[in-house]
Chains A and B, each alone.
Chain A
């Protein structure tokens, strides 16, 4: 049976994420409690796992590092069809950059035995580094393929995948166990079903903290992060805007004149 781990991040709900802004007056950031949602691109990673499981025997573990409310995101993944879920949550994990995140996830994944496949989304909506997957691969000593859009052959321990490139793609052969980051073109994620929610009610998620991973506090969270934020600066807008007034037709005409002036028509 194929053992699949899907890495899922709980991210701030987009609308409230956008409201988090540097105050132009105080030039500081007003924090607020933001509702969390599953990182949209991680739905594609989970879907890829669920599709594999529809074809052959597989066990799907979802793993997420985040604050306690991220547990709800893990539970949502169980309702979507994952078999079990692990939440990595500990005050010492907070403030992790991509390096420390990947390191902590790797240490947790190492605790699960005989993993064949680790799936990540292409990027997280709030960090958007695209680094966690490849870094995870180094820490797990596994090969990695990023930007996978199709599983061409997934029989046995040697897979062939199609991965995006600028203006094209590459066909890559990989020996399992391996890490893949999945693009949003790979599939269309399913939505929650009522029966899924009912079935998942019986499933429990496991929570692991620093002690469970047997890691020194210096290797995780902010302390384990090579990079830090050194400053945050407010950006003044640069242009003086002229609002075009009038009826719809007048606005169209004026705008077309601006396009003529700009020399594009």
Chain B
């Protein structure tokens, strides 16, 4: 199958009129892939009153923007969005389609793929071209990295989380062509979003936190988990978790770090009672200093951090929190005296 001239697509989205960072990051990566392939980057964006966002997409690397700007596109409606994307994709025949792993992207990607009869790879942590220009979609597996390819069907669709790729430099001189998208006609809507409710996120947001404390199975119980939570609070850090900690019900899915969770890039990462499985560790991108607390000296987590403490976290973490509190009180007093 020859893919000449078939563009690289990015499905962008807007949240209350703003393009989320992940969309710009994947446009940056799409630009690199498209340059290697010698093809265009085309971005698809739907919304209402969003034409002021189009320049940003060009600055990030788009050559063409398919823009649907209409009241029907005001909020995400799966059937309208799927139909609009699929019908334009059939005309333009993209070879690659990248979608952010947002809630919308995670629902839309499989709908688009199934409609187009093609494959897709979830939560990729890298995307590179092989010698034949086929997209290697990399995910962690079995303690290593697995490359998944979609050799025949097109487009090759991948979802990517925020923070996997760097934010591209925005080039204010770039511009491109806008192709309007009209709302699809005559679809009988069987599913309709009636209302979207936004709640204020609590605590320090993980993705931008300078310090992250993540806990795992080693917490042992909700009480053990609360100690880890207390450590995060004392350090003014964002609280992260491994998947089993979420499965135990100790914490919310939103705190999960890793391949199928969030990507973090803190100055300091402290992993408590977790084994350093790659699916978790790939979520920590470019942390400056990494520390692990684990009671098993042979735990693989110690091969992936700068400092290790071999201790039972249920004993060590409360002692650490206590000492940190004392230190804080002391420095607080000292500052006062001075």
Interface residues of A (CB under 8 A from B): 14, 18, 20-22, 29, 40, 97-99, 102, 123, 125, 128-135, 137-139, 142-147, 160, 164-175, 178, 183-185, 225-235, 237-244, 248-249, 251-253, 255-256, 258-259, 262-265
Contacts and interface: CB of A to CB of B under 8 A. Distances in A.
B270 to A, nearest CB: 9
Contacts of A129: 110, 120, 122
Contacts of B320: 252, 255-256
Interface residues of B, number: 91
Contact of A226 (B110, B153, B306): B153
Interface stretch (B89-97, B172-180, B193-201, B219-227): B193-201
A135 B216 CA distance: 32
B146 A232 contact: yes
Given A184-B247, A242-B306, A258-B289, A226 B193 contact: no
A138 B323 contact: no
B142 A20 contact: yes
B324 interface: yes
Contact of B118 (A137, A165, A166, A226): A226
Which residue of A138, A139, A263 has the most chain B CB atoms within 10 A of its CB atom?
A138
Contacts of B237: 264
B160 interface: no
Contacts of B136: 230-231
A174 B144 CA distance: 41
Given A244-B308, A258-B289, A265-B324, A228 B103 contact: no
Interface of B: 15, 78-79, 102-103, 106-107, 109-111, 113-115, 117-123, 130, 136-137, 140-153, 190-201, 210-211, 235, 237, 243-244, 246-247, 249, 253, 259-260, 267-268, 275, 277-278, 288-292, 297, 300, 302-311, 315-316, 319-320, 323-324, 327-328
Nearest to B121: A227
Contacts of B190: 142-143, 174-175, 178
Given A131-B122, A253-B323, A139 B114 contact: yes
A254 B190 CA distance: 61
Contacts of A147: 103, 107
A171 B197 CA distance: 8
A258 B291 contact: yes
B205 to A, nearest CB: 9
A135 B113 contact: yes
Nearest to A106: B114
Given A135-B114, A256-B324, A167 B198 contact: yes
B107 to A, nearest CB: 5
Nearest to A181: B107
Contact of B309 (A97, A144, A251): A251
B143 A22 contact: yes
Given A102-B114, A231-B146, A239-B290, A248 B306 contact: no
B307 A241 contact: yes
B114 A232 contact: no
Contact of B192 (A169, A173, A239, A265): A173
A18 B237 CA distance: 29
Contacts of A173: 191-192, 194
Contact of A252 (B243, B267, B308, B319): B319
A12 to B, nearest CB: 11
B278 A235 contact: yes
Contacts of A238: 304
Contacts of A97: 119
A140 B316 CA distance: 53
Contacts of B306: 239-242
Nearest to B282: A235
Given A99-B119, A134-B110, A262-B289, A255 B307 contact: yes
A187 B215 CA distance: 24
- Which 7 A-B residue pairs are closest in the complex by CB-CB distance? A226-B119, A138-B114, A227-B119, A143-B191, A237-B303, A131-B110, A134-B110
A251 B323 CA distance: 11
A242 B308 contact: yes
A264 B201 contact: no
Given A225-B119, A252-B320, A135 B311 contact: no
Contacts of B111: 134-135, 137-138, 144
Contacts of B141: 232
Contacts of B303: 237, 239, 241
A144 B107 contact: yes
A205 B275 CA distance: 39
A172 B103 CA distance: 14
A130 B122 contact: yes
A172 B107 contact: no
B145 A248 contact: no
Nearest to B276: A237
Contacts of A139: 114
Contacts of A235: 140, 143-145, 278
Contacts of B137: 227
10 contacts: A97-B119, A167-B201, A172-B192, A184-B247, A226-B150, A227-B137, A230-B148, A237-B304, A248-B319, A262-B289
B114 A21 contact: no
A129 B277 CA distance: 18
Nearest to B108: A134
A168 B307 CA distance: 37
